[in-house]
Amino acid sequence: MPLRVLGISGSLRKASYNTALLRLAGELLPPGMTMEIFDLSTLPLFNQDTEKPFPPSVEDFRSCIAQADAVLIASPEYNGSISGVLKNAIDWASRPPKHPLNGKPVAIMGASTGNFGTVRAQMHLRHVLTYIGALPLGKPDVFVARAEQIFDAEGNVTDETTRKFVRDLLFALKKWVHVTSQT
């Protein structure tokens, strides 16, 4: 049975570089992997007053995570950290009972128009994911800097080095899933 990966973009922007990075990942998946991308725009803002029962879109999101063997997050960097929409999604996914990110292998990548890519956002994201019990993959890193030079007008990656970094991340994620399932 193929490994199922759930792709999550931390950007809602129509021409998002991070969503385009996920589409590229879908093209570069190693044999034996499939990927579905979840649209975070369907999730309401987290509010403990509305979590019992979870709103239908939140139930759907949590179910998609639970059914996936791994999660691939493409995170933008906003004000030196992760986006509000991504943090909101993680907050919904981390609620009891049986929060679906606990023990879930997660790979992270990101694109930004800045000179450092998404280094700070990814550090913050790793911290949050580790705190809630997810299993973030340590290496390789995929920090796409100056994204406007890497993507064409249709959102395609024109840089072979970036394509290689994403491909390497996917192969490492596949191995990480196998390693974490042994424990």
- Counting every residue written for the chain, the total comes to 183
How many Å apart are CA 174 and CA 176, to the nearest integer?
Answer: 5
Q: For residue 37, what is the domain's CATH number?
A: 3.40.50.360
- For the entire predicted model, the pTM comes to 0.96
- Residue of 55, 37, 56 lying closest to 46 (CA atoms): 55
Count of domains for the chain: 1
> Rounded distance, CA 32 to CA 54, Å?
33
Alpha carbon dihedral 174, 179, 182, 183, in 10-degree steps, equals -130
Question: In which element (H, E) is residue 138 found?
Answer: none
How remote is the C-alpha of 29 from its chain's centroid?
Answer: 15
- Pinpoint the alpha helices (H) of 14-118: 17-28, 56-67, 84-93
- Asked if 86 and 10 count as a contact pair (C-beta separation under 8 A), the reply is yes
Work out the mean pLDDT of the chain and round it to a whole number. 95
Residue 182 binned pLDDT confidence (cut-offs 50, 70, 90): confident
Per-residue pLDDT reduced to its tens digit, 134-144: 999 999 999 99
> Residue 70: is its pLDDT beyond 90?
yes
- 8 A C-beta contact, residue 128 and residue 82: yes
Q: How many whole angstroms separate alpha carbon 116 and alpha carbon 49? A: 38
Residue 181's pLDDT is what?
86
pLDDT tier, 72 (very low <50, low <70, confident <90, very high otherwise): very high
Domain range spanning residue 60? 3-181
The DSSP output letter for 48 is G
* pLDDT per position as a tens digit, 23-57: 999 999 999 999 999 999 999 999 999 988 999 99
Question: What confidence category does residue 153 fall into, taking pLDDT thresholds of 50, 70 and 90?
Answer: very high
